[in-house]
């Protein structure tokens, strides 16, 4: 994929982590995390193992499994996408209610309601905005999709061909392998490697214990140290781990970066909940402002609420 197009798709969902080629990053599960981590008094009193927790953050599979579970259940989704102009006025939008059907190992999407405004679609019915196109690729199916696997192990080691498939692969690496090195994106280098020397010293790391949606959680936060606010990618990264089993029930991202080829400022929130005995995403929101050289700027917000 050409460098500019790789950057473009990277920015759609505030980008992907880990290389576009080869196997997924293998984390060191033995070495100690060398940077200081701030702990609240409750965590200190519990005799908390910081290094074991950092390894858990880096190697977690519960979050990815929750999204994999989406492919094997019927649900209804309430989708809202808004495209803004430079004055933050809405110039195009889509509001829809969709149902994913799942029967005999196959899933398909039925549009129950849909309203659009502005130039959301082209005259030929295609998406007029890259963010909307990727959103549809991730959450809607044009045809029935069958015989998918819910196995997590090894499922991110490679990606299929096609631009959207590569974009989905990048997105999965960001969501589920935070802290990996970005490859294939111009002028990005190691800036996403937040746990490694050269980047880790630019951040403050905190672990606390909090209640979230009535559930006791360990909360992992990173934010830039004073003076590094414009020298890092992550403005904030927060994950809520349920204390009882360390499942991720919420994650917030805030990223920004700028160079001569592209700039982006993106925020995203994901919430999960149990249905039966399995974890599923229930809410996803995205607020992004990005621009790639030679392409028009996109300012898009969307939210998805999923009901099982």
Q: What are the tens digits of pLDDT across the range 135-147?
A: 898 889 989 999 9
Provide the pLDDT for residue 164. 58
| Cβ burial, residue 75 (10 Å; 0-12/13-18/19+) | middle
Q: How confident is the model at residue 27 (pLDDT cuts 50, 70, 90)?
A: very low
What end-to-end distance do the CA atoms of the chain give, in Å?
A: 37
The dihedral built from the CA positions of residue 44, 45, 50 and 55, taken in this order, carries a sign that is negative
Convert the pLDDT of each residue in 267-279 to its tens digit: 999 999 999 999 9
Residue 240: the pLDDT is 97
CA 171 to CA 159: how far, in whole Å?
11
The pTM assigned to this predicted structure is 0.82
Assess whether pLDDT exceeds 70 at residue 33.
Answer: yes
* Residue % of the chain over a pLDDT of 70: 77
Q: Give the separation between CA 235 and CA 250, rounded to whole angstroms.
A: 17
pLDDT digits (tens, 9 = 90+) for 255-266: 898 888 888 899
For residue 156, give both structure tokens. Answer: 């991110």
CB 76 within 8 A of CB 99: yes
Handedness of CA 85, 91, 97, 103 (dihedral sign): negative
pLDDT band at 58 (very low <50, low <70, confident <90, very high): confident
Q: What is the mean pLDDT of residues 92-115?
A: 97
Mean pLDDT of 140-156: 82
- C-alpha dist (Å) from residue 216 to 164, 240, 251: 38, 9, 15
pLDDT at 75: 98
- Asked whether the predicted pLDDT for residue 222 surpasses 90, the reply is yes
- In this prediction, residue 175 carries a pLDDT of 57
- Is a pLDDT exceeding 70 seen at residue 132? yes
Confidence check: pLDDT of 38 > 50: yes
The pLDDT value given to residue 8: 41
Q: Examine the pLDDT at 6 and tell me if it is beyond 90.
A: no
Higher-pLDDT residue of 122 and 152 is: 122
CB 228 within 8 A of CB 246: no
Confidence of residue 184 (pLDDT cuts 50, 70, 90): low
Question: Is residue 100 over pLDDT 50?
Answer: yes
pLDDT greater than 70 at residue 281: yes
Whether residue 61 has pLDDT greater than 60: yes
Alpha helices by DSSP H, 163-242: 163-176
3-class state of residue 45 by DSSP:
helix
| H helix or E strand, kind and range, residue 144 | none
- From residue 88, give the alpha-carbon distance in Å to each of 79, 116, 299: 20, 18, 8
HSE-up of 212 (CA within 13 Å, CB side)? 22
């Amino acid at each position: 994929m050409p460098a500019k197009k790789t950057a473009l798709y990277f920015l759609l969902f505030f980008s992907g982590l880990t290389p576009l080629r080869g196997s997924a990053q293998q984390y060191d599960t033995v070495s100690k995390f060398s940077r200081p981590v701030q702990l609240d008094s409750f965590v200190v009193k519990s005799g908390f193992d910081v290094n074991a927790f950092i390894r858990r953050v880096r190697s977690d599979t519960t979050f990815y499994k929750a999204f994999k579970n989406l492919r094997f259940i019927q649900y209804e989704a309430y989708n809202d996408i808004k495209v803004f102009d430079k004055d933050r006025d809405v110039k195009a939008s889509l509001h829809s209610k969709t149902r994913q059907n799942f029967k005999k190992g196959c899933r398909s999407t039925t549009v129950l309601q849909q309203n659009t405004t502005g130039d959301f679609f082209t005259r030929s019915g295609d998406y007029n905005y890259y963010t909307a196109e990727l959103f549809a690729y991730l959450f809607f199916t044009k045809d029935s999709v069958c015989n998918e696997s819910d196995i997590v192990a090894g499922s991110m080691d490679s990606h299929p061909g096609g631009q959207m498939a590569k974009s989905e692969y990048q997105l999965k690496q960001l969501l589920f392998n935070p802290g990996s090195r970005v490859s294939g994106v111009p002028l990005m280098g190691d800036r996403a490697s937040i746990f490694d020397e050269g980047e880790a010293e630019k951040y403050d790391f905190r672990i606390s214990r909090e209640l979230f949606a009535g559930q006791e959680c360990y909360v992992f936060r990173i934010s830039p140290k004073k003076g590094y606010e414009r020298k890092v990618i992550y403005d904030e990264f927060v994950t809520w781990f349920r204390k009882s089993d360390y499942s991720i029930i919420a994650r917030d991202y805030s990223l920004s970066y700028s160079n001569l080829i592209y700039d982006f400022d993106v925020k995203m929130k994901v919430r999960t909940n149990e249905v039966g005995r399995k974890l599923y995403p229930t809410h996803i929101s995205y607020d992004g402002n990005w621009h790639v050289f030679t392409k028009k700027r996109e300012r898009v917000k969307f939210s998805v609420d999923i009901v099982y």
